[in-house]
Amino acid sequence: MNPEIINVSINKEKNQLSYPIFVGNNLLLQSGNLLKKYINNKKIIIIYDNYFDQKNSLNKYFEQFIQSIKIETFSINLIGISGGDKTKSMSQLTNIIEKVLSFGIDRDTIISAFGGGVVGDIAGFAASILLRGINFIQIPTTLLSQVDSSVGGKTGINGKLGKNLIGAFHQPLAVIADTIILKSLPDRELKAGFSEVIKYGLIKNKEFFIWLEENYTKILNHDDLKLKKTIMKSCSIKSEIIQDDEKENGKRALLNLGHTFAHAIETFGNYDGKIIHGEAVAIGICMAFGFSYKLGFCINSDLERVINIFQKSKLPTSLKDIPELSISTSEMMEKFKYDKKTRQGKLTFILNNKIGDSFIKQDVDLNILKNFITEEI
Ligand SMILES: NC(=O)c1ccc[n+]([C@@H]2O[C@H](COP(=O)([O-])OP(=O)(O)OC[C@H]3O[C@@H](n4cnc5c(N)ncnc54)[C@H](O)[C@@H]3O)[C@@H](O)[C@H]2O)c1
């Protein structure tokens, strides 16, 4: 089957960088062919989610990927790591880097990340600092990573004080999003990825949001055509937003809708699985709409409609849905200080005028925010 291709183009000061996202079903079988021009007999280090070490009927695609890549190169080394946000740590990064170096790499070596957002983020970050930067390829295996984290070049790990505080912008050479690999993804993870999909409609495409309202059941039931459209549309919207703002000096920040709340919530969970990234994003987006409503930017019916799609998708919509997290207003306010959009102590949030129309709100009133958080807890 021929893949659909979305080209991500990024305008840099002096030139334009561009790379393909291949989207389709059963593409991993032809990975070698799709990636031929990048691999071209170079050494490949595959950093993969060790979930794929398990042998079962749904788990043959990783092996297919390796066999297909083998046709294009004389040298492949493998490093298995665990999924889950705990892996995005300095100690894991050090382990990965030392292992990669022990394989004897040069500046032509390519790292390939095969896994969800966690593997992609840490492997991409390793690629960005090894020998001052080597190339990498993304093979995302979760819905979240196919629609979001594998595209756009944000790589990194979590710091003790907050999420994704250590990292680099490093764009991949190519991305392959194969819907077949999602067959083994647990429902909880599929739904978590769906949060980031809803985000795109809410930021700037009401038509897509309406399509999601109409099609969420099929998407969450793995309907392949709907999944493909979901991935294509999400990646196109993301690529449109980042093309003139690779390093988030302006409108790229819109992609953080809900994330200032979400990242703070995740740190309360200690990355131990009580709450996973996409679930925190669902709550974060509902809070961003709640806060937009409180400040008089959006109407109540939009807020209700947003909560409704998350609830119908069986995602959490409020901090009260995760009672195991013990959160206080003051601790939450403290965490906001480490948000990467904060400048000179002034907080910035992404808010909405309506569904499909997000904007950047700088210098948010701290007292109103405090009251809002207290009401939410
Ligand atoms: N770089 C970016 O732009 C960006 C954007 C959004 C999110 N993120 C990051 O992405 C991470 C979340 O990514 P994620 O949700 O993919 O998490 P993840 O990588 O931890 O994967 C989720 C779970 O699914 C398992 N898994 C992966 N693929 C599977 C498959 N095909 N079948 C069965 N199980 C599979 C993993 O082992 C893990 O347990 C967070 O750290 C978040 O900060 C980064």
Q: Which residues are catalytic?
A: 132, 154, 196, 238, 248, 252, 256, 259, 263, 277
pLDDT of residue 175: 98
Backbone angles phi, psi at 327, to 5 degrees: -120, 135
275-290 tens-digit pLDDT: 999 999 999 999 999 9
Report the range of poorest mean pLDDT among 172-176, 294-298, 334-338, 357-361.
Answer: 334-338
Q: Please give the pLDDT value at position 14.
A: 66
Residue 103 structure tokens = 């394989």
pLDDT in tens, 111-141: 999 999 999 999 999 999 999 999 999 999 9
Asked whether the predicted pLDDT for residue 93 surpasses 80, the reply is yes
Cβ 182 vs Cβ 222: under 8 Å: yes
The region of weakest confidence among 1-15, 104-118, 249-263, 289-303 is 1-15
Question: Is a pLDDT exceeding 90 seen at residue 207?
Answer: yes
- Is the pLDDT reported for residue 374 higher than 90? yes
**Given this model, what pLDDT does residue 44 score?**
98
The residue to mutate among 142, 265, 275, 281, having the most atoms of ligand 1 within 8 angstroms of its beta carbon, is 142
Q: Looking only at Cα atoms, what is the longest distance across the chain?
A: 61
Going by the DSSP 8-state scheme, the letter that residue 361 receives in this structure is: E
Kindly report the protein residue whose alpha carbon is nearest to atom 13 of ligand 1: 117
* Reported pTM: 0.97
Percent with pLDDT over 70 in the chain: 99
Q: Whose CA is nearest to atom 7 of ligand 1?
A: 149
Distance CA(308)–CA(314), nearest Å, equals 10
Q: Is the confidence at residue 153, as pLDDT, over 70?
A: yes
Strand duo 154-159 + 162-169: pairing: antiparallel
What pLDDT is recorded for position 11? 84
- Indicate the burial class of 307 (C-beta count within 10 angstroms; 0-12, 13-18, 19 or more): middle
pLDDT digits (tens, 9 = 90+) for 311-353: 999 999 999 999 999 899 999 999 998 888 888 888 999 999 9
Output the pLDDT for position 194.
98
Taking CA atoms only, the protein residue closest to ligand 1 atom 8 is 149
Spell out which residues line ligand 1, taking CB within 6 angstroms: 49, 51, 83-85, 88, 115-119, 121, 141-142, 144-145, 148-149, 152, 154, 163-164, 181, 184-185, 189, 192, 277-278
According to DSSP, the residues that pair with 177 across neighbouring strands are 23
Residue 223: pLDDT band (50, 70, 90) is very high
Contact 8, 152 (CB under 8 A): yes
The pLDDT value given to residue 346: 87
Helix axes 300-312, 187-204, angle to 10 degrees: 160
- pLDDT, one tens digit per residue, over 58-92 is 789 999 999 999 999 999 999 999 999 999 999 99
pLDDT above 80 for 18:
yes
